Amino acid sequence: MSTESNKPQKAFLSGNEAIAYGAAQAGCTVASAYPGTPSTEILENIAKFKETINCEWAVNEKVAMETAIGASIGGARSLCAMKHVGLNVAMDPLMTFCYVGATGGFVFVSADDPGMHSSQNEQDNRNLAKFARIPVLEPSDSQEAYDMTQAAFEISEQFHVPVMIRMTTRTSHSSSLVDLGDFKPKTRDLIPYVKNIQKTIPVPAFARGQRLAAQERTAAMEKASAASALNRVEAGDRRLGFVTSAVAYQYVKEIFPEFSILKLGWTNPLPKDLIADFAKRVEKLVVVEELDPVLEDQIKAMGLAVAKHETELNMMELNADRLQNLRNELLGDVPKAKKATPDTTLPTRPPTLCAGCGHRSVFYVLHKLGAIVNGDIGCYTLGAFAPLNAMDTTICMGASINVSAGMKKAGVKGRMCSVLGDSTFFHSGLTGALSAFYNGTPVTTVVLDNRITAMTGQQDNPGTGKTLKGDPAPVTEIADVAKAMGYKTVVEVSCDDLPGLEKTLAEAMDSNEPALVIAYAPCRIAAKLTKEGLCEVDSAACKACGACFKLGCPAMTRGAEVRPGFFQMKIDASLCSGCKQCQQLCKFGAIKRIK
Amino acid sequence: MKTVNVSLVGVGGQGIILTADMLAKAAALAGYQVKKSEIHGMSQRGGSVTSQVRFGDHVASPIIQEGTSDVLVAFDRLEAVRTAHELAEGGKAVVANVDLVPVTVSSGIQPPVADLAGRLAAALPTAVVVDAMTIAREQVGNERTMNMVLAGALSKVLPIDESYWLEAMKLMLTGAKAKLLPANEKAFALGRAAV
């Protein structure tokens, strides 16, 4: 990257990339995160600036936030990033750090996922910032992501407060041109650390004072927000006045270009004076925001009249089509006739486990064994679907072990296990595994060890031997961890050995003690094994029994229909990885590895 | 200039996001304002994938409204039929003559489409169907350049000069990837010739 010139540099960046550039430009020197869609690329791009930013993958979001907190107390500008549910994990430190307050600028990114493109729930984390009484900045595109990241560090140091940047899937994963100005990653001298336990140890006597200070700080921040260039009026037709933020602003510009807009970039605490003034200048106030009515409820509480409308805007992802419906309703426009509707008779194409994925054989076996499977968050959640059909529950990161413990305690009978990935085990499986062991709850924990954080795009973790910066790292073996906890039954088995898997899993589930099974197979994408080999079906030997199709491998297609409803299997050579899972299911020896 | 909406659809792993990147960069080099949007995450695992590019004098929304795509680029015929309703009246479709069988069909859970060619002709009667995979495999000698064949075809229907496309390609294939440039340039040229 060129940093020598003073001329403005323009770059085509995603919102997540722009945050990384903004952090580098602001002199951020410490950054930590756990991967999670749609936030993952923030730290991946920060790693490009590893010369100035000491960056890392933390094992979970709580660790990431606490690490950034330590850096801030130590006087550095620091950042952490997470997906919306990651903030649930990090709420504990946040709710006290908002009392203690930042020394060096402290910025965290919450990347929400309206519409749940890649998440188990929908959360508007602006609610949590309001709860913590901290500022929220809401970029509407990549330029603002770059600018607001820098502004966030300034605000954080001005008010000694943690600042949330609220991104969404759309702002994180949309790209647009960014004027980087005179971009030059920098470091800043530490604000000298001075021990001050009245600030950094919130025992009740000190915390009470901090609680009062937080209230005063909110009033001061509200004044600053009202005066900030991050909030601006775009005057237009006064019949409608829109109060809007984040990507919703872009949709308002698209659909209501002629009307007045109060564009809010700094939304908590709400700049009430600015809004009251804007309301006086327009005939009807309309609030458009993505997900919860966070702005709208506060504006109504100010006693201002907000336009009522039938068009539901406060759940699922917002888009211009939905605002077009609002326009039709508010202005009495005639809806345009739809030219065509989606063809819903087509076969669907849902995401699937990759050809050769080691998770597949585990789910095949668990289904065969008739087990209740409490699952977790990762690629392997796909094991829930046909034809594998081998998952009963998924709650959140690390829940699998504890849900089994609860079911066992409740007296649910039959074979049962918990299934989670290596990265999820490190994230929040450790505590559950320990708790089950301590309490003697006979939970069988199956760690699907593929030596990578796969679902989010193959990030490193404590089991991979590499850091975010690309440096070598010590490897933590999950078997060693379980043994250190005291587990007597710790079994490692290869996912490529189907009979071995079946025996191991059955024995573990049938035993009456806590057990930990490590089902090992490296992620084929991460290990570049997607073309390790190739299998072929001998059509003279294939009896069309259909046994192999139960794996649901995308490299398998239907060949000749031998009897009505019974098809031979054919392997798509462009997809087959040569894993030989199907070969082990074929009683007729019809499947051979040819390469 | 009115904003031009381009939808690129296909299956995860086909190089759709890279093609959208190249289009967006070419549009930016041509002096347009441009926004690109896509969904990552769970959908990348062999599922349907969509990427959208909008360019013009001023672009607000990063996503395209339903039924307003000026150009639909499909990397797979089934995905072309699935997203045909996204194309605006008078819009143009560029479709690769490629059929990736969904796992729902190969595993027998859902029936295959009986007459895909007929369904495609009915849904997108003016579609330009490009034998992109055959061209990539047989004339370029590299299946992975299928997306550049389609990019070449796409470049013929968009108001962006060829030189900007080639410049964008050079910007994307730097360092160790620079050796892939001749094959990709060839694929792009063959795609242009195919329309």
Cβ-nearest to A177 among B28, B37, B112: B28
- Closest-CA residue of B relative to A378 is B42
Distance from CA of B123 to the nearest CA of A (A): 9
CA–CA distance, A286 with A281 (Å, rounded to integer): 13
The order of strands in the sheet holding A444-449 is A372-374, A416-421, A444-449, A515-520, A489-494
Q: Scanning every residue of chain A, which has its alpha carbon at the shortest distance from the alpha carbon of B20? A: A175
Give the pLDDT confidence score for residue A4 in this predicted structure: 43
Three-point CA angle B36, B40, B43, nearest 5°: 125
3-state helix, strand, coil in chain A (%, to 5): 40, 20, 40
Residues A360-377: tens digit of each pLDDT: 999 999 999 999 999 999
Give burial (CB, 10 Å; 0-12/13-18/19+) of A274: buried
Return the bridge partners of A118, or none.
Answer: none
Contact residues on chain B for A379, CB-CB shorter than 8 A: 45
List the single residue in A250, A348, A379 with the smallest CB-CB distance to B45. A379
Q: What is the dihedral of CA B114, B118, B120, B121, to 10 degrees?
A: -170
Are B85 and B93 in contact by the 8 Å Cβ rule? The answer is: no
- Confidence grade of residue A1 (pLDDT, cut at 50, 70, 90): very low
How confident is the model over A284-297, as pLDDT tens digits?
999 999 999 999 99
Residues A304-314: b if buried by 16+ CB within 10 A, e if exposed: bebeeeeeebe
Residues ≥6 apart with Cβ < 8 Å to A87: A61, A94, A108, A110, A123, A125, A128
Cα–Cα distance measured from residue A210 to residue A214, given in angstroms and rounded to the nearest whole number: 6
Residues A64 and A354: their CA atoms lie apart, in Å, by: 30
CB contact under 8 A, A173 and B104: no
For A357, other C-beta atoms within 10 Å of its C-beta total 29
Q: Nearest Cβ partner of B89 from A250, A321, A339?
A: A339
CA angle A194, A76, A176 (to 5 degrees): 155
**Mean pLDDT computed over A144-155:** 98
- pLDDT score of B132 more than 50: yes
Q: How far apart are CA A206 and CA A204, in angstroms?
A: 5
Angle at A505 (CA atoms; ends A501, A510), nearest 5 degrees: 150
Mean pLDDT over the full length of chain B = 94
Q: What is the sign, positive or negative, of the torsion defined by CA atoms of B62, B67, B71, B76?
A: positive
At residue A461, does pLDDT exceed 50? yes
In angstroms, the first-to-last Cα distance of chain A is 42
| Average pLDDT over every residue of B136-149 | 96
Q: Is the dihedral of CA A500, A505, A510, A513 positive or negative?
A: positive
A217-221, long-range: CB < 8 A, 24+ apart: A217/A133, A217/A159, A217/A160, A217/A161, A218/A133, A218/A269, A220/A159, A221/A135, A221/A155, A221/A159, A221/A161, A221/A269
Whether the pLDDT of residue B168 is over 80: the answer is yes
User: How confident is the prediction for chain A on average, in pLDDT?
Assistant: 96
Distance CA B53, CA B35 (A): 6
User: Could you tell me which chain B residue has the CA closest to the CA of A318?
Assistant: B63
Separation of alpha carbons A26 and A104, rounded Å: 12
pLDDT in tens, B8-52: 999 988 999 999 999 999 999 999 999 999 875 555 567 888 999
User: Is A207 in a helix, a strand, or coil?
Assistant: helix
List strand residue ranges (DSSP E) for chain B, in order.
4-11, 33-38, 48-56, 69-74, 87-96, 128-130
- pLDDT the model gives residue B44: 57
Which of A341, A552, A554 minimises the CB distance to B85? A341
Distance between CA atoms of A388 and A392, rounded to whole angstroms? 12
**A126, A166 Cβ separation under 8 angstroms:** yes
In this structure, how many other beta carbons lie within 10 angstroms of the beta carbon of residue B175?
Answer: 6
CB A108 within 8 A of CB A68: yes
d(CA B119, CA A28): 55
Structure tokens at A260: 């007045």
Residue A412 burial (CB count, 10 A): 11
- Helix H or strand E segment including A106: strand A106-112
Spell out a b/e string for A528-557, using b for 16 or more CB atoms within 10 Å of the CB, else e: ebbbeebbebeeeebebbbebbbbbbbbbb
Amino acid occupying residue A126: R
Distance CA A110, CA A172 (A): 10
**Among A154-163, A509-518, B48-57, B96-105, where is mean pLDDT lowest?**
B96-105
Contacts of A456 in chain B (CB under 8 A): 41
Residue A494 has which token pair?
Answer: 């290869």
Q: Judging by DSSP bridges, how do beta strands A54-57 and A30-33 pair with one another?
A: parallel
**B112: which chain A residues are within 8 Å (Cβ-Cβ)?**
347
Tell me the three state secondary structure of residue A7: coil
SS3 letters across A319-351: CHHHHHHHHHHHHCCCCCCCCCCCCCCCCCCCC
- On whether any CB of chain A is under 8 Å from the CB of B11, the answer is yes
Element at A302 (helix H, strand E): none
- A96-117, pLDDT tens digit by residue? 999 999 999 999 999 999 999 9
| pLDDT at position B106 | 81
Q: What is the predicted pLDDT for the residue at B40?
A: 59
Which pLDDT tens digit goes with each residue over A231-284? Answer: 999 999 999 999 999 999 999 999 999 999 999 999 999 999 999 999 999 999
Of the partner residues A343, A557, A572, the one whose CB lies closest to the CB of residue B82: A343
State whether B63 and A457 contact (CB < 8 Å): no
- A591 token code pair: 């499947």
List CB contacts (< 8 A) between A177 and chain B. Answer: 28, 33-34
**What is the four-CA torsion angle of B41, B44, B50, B54, rounded to 10 degrees?**
60
A171-223 residue pLDDT tens:
999 999 999 999 999 999 999 999 999 999 999 999 999 999 999 999 999 99
C-alpha to C-alpha distance for B7 and B51, rounded to whole angstroms = 6
Which residue does chain B place closest to A351, by CA atoms? B47
Contact A351 B43 (CB under 8 A): yes
pLDDT band for position A574 (cuts 50, 70, 90): confident
Whether residue A2 has pLDDT greater than 60: no
For the segment A50-67, the average pLDDT, to the nearest whole number, is 98
Task: Spell B61-85 as b/e; 16+ CB within 10 A means b.
Answer: bbbbbbbbbbbbbbbbbbbbbbbbb
pLDDT-derived band of residue A7, with 50, 70 and 90 as boundaries?
low
Residues A516-543 have pLDDT tens digits of 999 999 999 999 998 899 999 999 999 9
In the block, tokens 């609002």 appear at A326
On the question of pLDDT at A5 being above 50, the answer is: no
**What is the Cα B63 distance to its own chain's centre?**
16
As a 3-state breakdown, chain B gives helix, strand, coil percent values, each rounded to 5, of 45, 20, 30
Cα(A221)–Cα(A132) distance, integer angstroms: 14
State the pLDDT at residue B12: 85
Neighbours of A62 (CB within 10 A): 23
Model pLDDT for residues B64-90, shown as the tens digit of each residue:
999 999 999 999 999 999 999 999 999
Tell the residue number behind the tokens 């933390």, with chain if given: A58
